[in-house]
């Protein structure tokens, strides 16, 4: 499930009173909320995707909180995906990989673990992603490359038709499949450490992209409120019933808006429901 906390939608009891330092009091409220959510959903979901933007919004205080939540989620045995969508070239990519994905080795921070995987952007090509792959490979981590995103406007770039009949996202998918299929990047499971983001709303593309990228784990945002239902998700999985992580955020995070009773109970129930919905398409 996605951890994308927006202060204005937190349960009123969590928001609390604003102290004189509005930013810090919001960070504290977001922390109370997220810590409760992680504990509540850990028994029901295998993996959380933490949206970096929601924390960077609170400057360095938010970034520190983000890292604290990564530690908590890992301690709860959740697989942690940092949804950072980073992308740069050369040594800047190395720096992003070290800061956003890596386990730290610096004295004073040697206990700080990075997430298990992060999302990265594809527009700059594979050499921009290579430093992330190097780090992921050496530390047993993974990546999800943006191939097809769930927002309507993405078509203007990702669905552009090439002169050989492919779409732009097909070409990006082939790039990810080729690089990700390199020996050493594919594990015993048959899946590559180089995965792909494929939006749940792009039904017409999912089956084709699955064919182009058989060894990629798909990270599939947009389930639920963004418009996709469980049946639409079938094409994201391989025939073995594996290969996709379906992510929902708001329908779980803010379940208490629609459900009477305590907010933590509502979140736990929504996570259990999400689990059931995804399982139902795998039988």
141 to each of 81, 130, 197, how far by Cα in Å?
A: 10, 14, 16
Q: Is 49 a catalytic residue?
A: no
Q: Which residues of 189-198 are buried (b: 16+ CB within 10 A; e: fewer)?
A: eebbbbbbbb
Place of tokens 């990270």: 219
CB atoms within 10 A of CB 142: 25
- Of 37 and 42, which has the nearer Cβ to a second copy? 37
92 touches a second copy (CB under 8 A): yes
- Of 90 and 140, which has the nearer Cβ to a second copy? 90
Cα(51)–Cα(20) distance, integer angstroms = 27
Among 17, 111, 156, 184, binds a second copy (CB under 8 A): 156
- Shortest CB 224 distance to a second copy, Å: 14
Among 76, 171, 186, 230, binds a second copy (CB under 8 A): 171
181 touches a second copy (CB under 8 A): no
1 to each of 22, 24, 142, 248, how far by Cα in Å?
A: 28, 26, 17, 5
- Of 106 and 188, which has the nearer Cβ to a second copy? 106
- Of 44 and 67, which has the nearer Cβ to a second copy? 67
- Burial class from Cβ neighbours inside 10 Å (0-12, 13-18, 19+) for residue 267 reads buried
- Burial class from Cβ neighbours inside 10 Å (0-12, 13-18, 19+) for residue 156 reads exposed
Among 106, 184, 239, 260, binds a second copy (CB under 8 A): 106
Among 122, 177, 216, 256, binds a second copy (CB under 8 A): 122
- Shortest CB 252 distance to a second copy, Å: 16
From 34-42, 91-99, 240-248, 260-268, span contacting a second copy (CB under 8 A): 91-99
Residue numbers annotated as active site: 85
């Amino acid at each position: 499930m996605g951890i994308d906390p927006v202060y204005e939608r937190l349960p009123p009891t969590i928001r609390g009173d604003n102290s004189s330092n509005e930013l810090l009091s919001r960070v504290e409220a977001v922390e109370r909320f997220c810590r409760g959510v992680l504990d509540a959903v850990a028994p029901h979901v295998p993996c959380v995707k933490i949206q970096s933007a929601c924390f960077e919004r609170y400057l360095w205080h938010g970034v520190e909180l983000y890292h604290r939540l990564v530690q908590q989620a890992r301690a709860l045995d959740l697989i942690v995906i940092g949804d950072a969508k980073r992308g740069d070239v050369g040594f800047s990519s190395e720096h992003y990989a070290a800061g956003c994905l890596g386990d730290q080795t610096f004295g004073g921070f040697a206990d700080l673990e990075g997430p298990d995987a992060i999302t990265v952007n594809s527009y700059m090509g594979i050499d921009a992603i290579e430093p992330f792959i190097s780090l992921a490979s050496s530390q047993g981590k993974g990546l999800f490359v943006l191939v097809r995103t769930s927002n309507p406007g993405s078509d203007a770039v990702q669905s552009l038709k090439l002169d050989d009949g492919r779409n732009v996202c097909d070409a990006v998918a082939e790039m990810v499949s080729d690089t990700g299929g390199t020996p050493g990047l594919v594990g015993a499971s048959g899946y590559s450490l180089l995965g792909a983001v494929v939006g749940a709303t792009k039904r017409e593309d999912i089956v084709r992209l699955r064919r182009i990228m058989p060894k990629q784990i798909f990270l599939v945002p947009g389930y639920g409120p963004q418009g996709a239902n469980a049946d639409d998700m079938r094409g994201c999985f391989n025939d073995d019933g594996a290969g996709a992580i379906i992510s929902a955020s708001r329908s779980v995070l803010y379940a208490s808006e629609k459900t009477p009773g305590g907010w933590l109970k509502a979140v736990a129930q929504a996570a259990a429901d999400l689990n059931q919905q995804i399982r139902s398409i795998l039988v």
